[in-house]
Amino acid sequence: MRIFRTLAPIVLACLPSLAHAADAYYFFGDSLTAEGTFQSAPIMWPSVLQADTSVFQGADFAVSGSTTAAYLAQVNSFLTSGDKVTSNTVAAIWIETNNITIGSAQNQPAQLIVQNALSNIVTGIQELVSTGVKNFIVLGVYDLSLTNALGTNVPARTEAAVAAQLLNGQLATLKVQGANIQYFDIAAFINQMQMHPQQYGFLQIMPLAVGATATRCVSRPRFMPIRFIFRPRRRH
């Protein structure tokens, strides 16, 4: 997905007080967030967010292919790292994509997929809160039925769309004791790009996601246009 250079400035614009006050970022997720030798794009959104805020303290614990169960292992890696946190430390979580892809392919009902994913997300946040992390950026999931992740499996694609919508609804109102959670609606963000691609540096788009609503956060691109929003998808 070629949205990483666009995503970070939009997150920053939508969550200015939280992002600008940060003194360290810790990232948790799958290949949409993981940086390293086999990262999904030349420039990943964590690096852009760090550069835009001039905050380079922290670490990226994301691992390609992770589900929310593996995210708990990432949280454990943070817990055993010995890193010191402050009241301004921010944990950024974007993790549920593979839960929906795998669960839908296995014919799991959308409600079960969401229940399992949300339970792990909450558990991870609670564990992070217990170490002193108070600030969280939680990104939702885009409509996976619009990608080739599930091929021509129409029932699975339908279930994936339902699961994404249900999970985003839960994440948008998520509350965990001791946590300041700021939700970012990635589905609405992509919908906004699809309606106004040139504003975000894209020349071509995919069909508009049904039922998505546009985010109020709009930012002009600071980079050269890219031809497509999506590229051929692999497991995240």
Give me the domains of the chain, ranges plus CATH numbers: 4-228 (3.40.50.1110)
**pLDDT of 161 over the 70 cut:** yes
pLDDT in tens, 7-17: 666 676 666 66
Query: What phi and psi, each to the nearest 5 degrees, are found at residue 73?
Result: -70, -35
pLDDT tens for each residue of 89-129: 999 999 999 999 999 999 999 999 999 999 999 999 999 99
107's CB contacts (< 8 A; 6+ apart) are 155, 156, 159
**DSSP string over 56-116:** --EEE---TT--HHHHHHHHHHHHTT-----TTEEEEEE--HHHHHHHHHTT--HHHHHHH
User: Mean pLDDT, to the nearest integer, of 48-54?
Assistant: 88
For residue 18, what pLDDT band results from cuts at 50, 70 and 90? Answer: confident
- Token digits for 96? 């549920």
Q: Percentage of the chain surpassing pLDDT 90?
A: 57
Query: Can you say how many angstroms the Cα of residue 70 is from the centroid of all Cα atoms in its chain?
Result: 15
Residue 29 pLDDT greater than 80, yes or no: yes
Label residue 41 by pLDDT band (50, 70, 90).
Answer: confident
* pLDDT for the residue 222: 40
The radius of gyration of the chain from alpha carbons, rounded to an integer in Å, stands at: 17
Q: What is the arithmetic mean of pLDDT over 119-140?
A: 97
Residues 117, 167: contact at Cβ < 8 Å? yes
174 in Cβ contact with 183 (< 8 Å): yes
| Average pLDDT value for the chain | 83
Tell me how far CA of residue 147 lies from CA of 137, 222, 229, in angstroms: 25, 26, 11
Q: Is residue 203 helix, strand or coil?
A: strand
Residue 234 has pLDDT above 70, yes or no: no
pLDDT band at residue 193 using 50, 70 and 90 as cut-offs: confident
Rounded to whole angstroms, how far apart are CA atoms 92 and 18? 11
Identify the pLDDT of residue 221.
40
